[in-house]
């Protein structure tokens, strides 16, 4: 089986984006079976230990039996220690797969202390997008959130997505008319990602368009396995994987004030497409082929 760690960068908090709010992702991966009917993924899901102290799992990740880490950076800048970053970096250097994701503005900006794949993530106050034309507000509705804040739609709705360049293997969808993933959950204010120009193993593979301005923005950057590490994905927002965005009835923290939509409910193919993407990514990160 493929050993997967799903982890947030915050201590447990019932009224935040703690790991329980990614339970549907965990449950889905746990139900996947291989061609012989055996479970394909062994999933561990946890929040980080006390802030300021090395996390006992992340800081020793390179010595673990995990094959891949899905890191949900839901902190405000203090979610990773130096030892955590070292453990994660050594983990990728030994071939481990990484999915790093965050959200709008500076949410999840502790990734900037990590380096490597994290260089694909741009924030308002650190590692800003080198394209200064993108230093502008896209979501005009939640006025206290500054750029990057791409408005792909309401929580609970879906967005149409498209492959960039030659379709990457994680975008394959044998059940879609075009053979590629067509939908992901939408979110009122997604973060910004791009391929670091100094890393030839990285390229943008997926884009969407703002529902507010029509501007195109990047959804995912893929890093191929190279001498410096295993495969990796940088994703524009953790809301692509969140319970609330897969099923609005799951609820959200009390600070979420935007009115939700019901597109995911009305179009079951949007959730099916999302799960196909998740399955493809989980298989590919571990060195395999998408399902």
pLDDT digit string, tens, across residues 224-248:
999 889 999 999 999 999 999 999 9
- Do 256 and 68 contact (CB within 8 A), yes or no? no
- Do 101 and 91 contact (CB within 8 A), yes or no? no
Mean pLDDT, to the nearest integer, of 47-75?
98
End-to-end CA distance of the chain: 15
| C-alpha 45, offset from chain centre | 15
Residue 236 to residues 93, 95, 186, 196, Cα–Cα distance (Å) = 23, 23, 11, 14
Q: Residue 182: which CATH number?
A: 3.40.50.880
Residue 134, pLDDT > 80, answer yes
As to burial, measured by CB atoms within 10 angstroms (0-12 exposed, 13-18 middle, 19+ buried), residue 203 is middle
pTM value > 0.75: yes
Portion of the chain with pLDDT greater than 70, in percent: 99
Top-confidence residue, 47 or 115: 47
- Do 35 and 47 contact (CB within 8 A), yes or no? no
Is 290 contained in some domain? no
Residue 92, pLDDT > 80, answer yes
Is 291 contained in some domain? no
Residue 291, pLDDT > 70, answer no
Mean pLDDT, to the nearest integer, of 29-47?
96
Is 36 contained in some domain? yes
Is 160 contained in some domain? yes
Indicate the number of domains in the chain: 1
Domain containing residue 21: 2-285
Cα–Cα distance, 29 to 123 (Å, whole number): 30
Cα–Cα distance, 10 to 98 (Å, whole number): 18
């Amino acid at each position: 089986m493929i050993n997967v760690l799903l982890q947030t960068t915050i201590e447990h908090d019932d009224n935040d984006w703690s790991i329980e709010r990614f339970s549907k992702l965990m449950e889905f991966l746990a139900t996947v079976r291989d061609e012989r009917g055996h479970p394909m993924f062994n999933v561990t899901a946890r929040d980080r230990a006390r802030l300021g102290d090395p996390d006992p799992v992340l800081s020793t990740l390179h010595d673990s039996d995990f094959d891949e880490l899905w890191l949900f950076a839901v902190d405000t800048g203090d979610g990773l220690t130096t030892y955590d970053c070292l453990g994660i970096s050594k983990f990728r250097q030994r071939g481990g797969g990484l999915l790093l994701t965050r959200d709008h503005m500076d949410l999840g900006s502790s990734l900037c202390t990590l380096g490597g794949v994290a260089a694909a993530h741009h924030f308002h106050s650190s590692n800003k997008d080198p394209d200064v034309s993108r230093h502008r507000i896209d979501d005009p509705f939640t006025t206290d959130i500054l750029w990057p804040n791409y408005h792909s739609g309401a929580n609970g709705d879906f967005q149409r997505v498209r492959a960039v360049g030659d379709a990457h293997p994680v975008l394959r969808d044998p059940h879609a008319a075009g053979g590629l993933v067509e939908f992901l959950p939408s979110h009122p204010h997604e973060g910004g990602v791009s391929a670091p120009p100094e890393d030839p193993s990285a390229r943008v593979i997926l884009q969407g368009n703002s529902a507010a301005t029509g501007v195109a923005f990047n959804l995912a950057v893929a890093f191929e396995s190279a001498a410096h590490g295993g495969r990796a994905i940088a994703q524009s927002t953790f809301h692509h994987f969140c319970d609330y965005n897969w099923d609005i009835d799951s609820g959200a923290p009390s600070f979420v004030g935007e009115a939700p939509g019901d597109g995911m409910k009305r179009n079951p193919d949007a959730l099916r497409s999302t799960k196909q993407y998740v399955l493809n990514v989980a298989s590919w990160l571990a060195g395999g082929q998408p399902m």
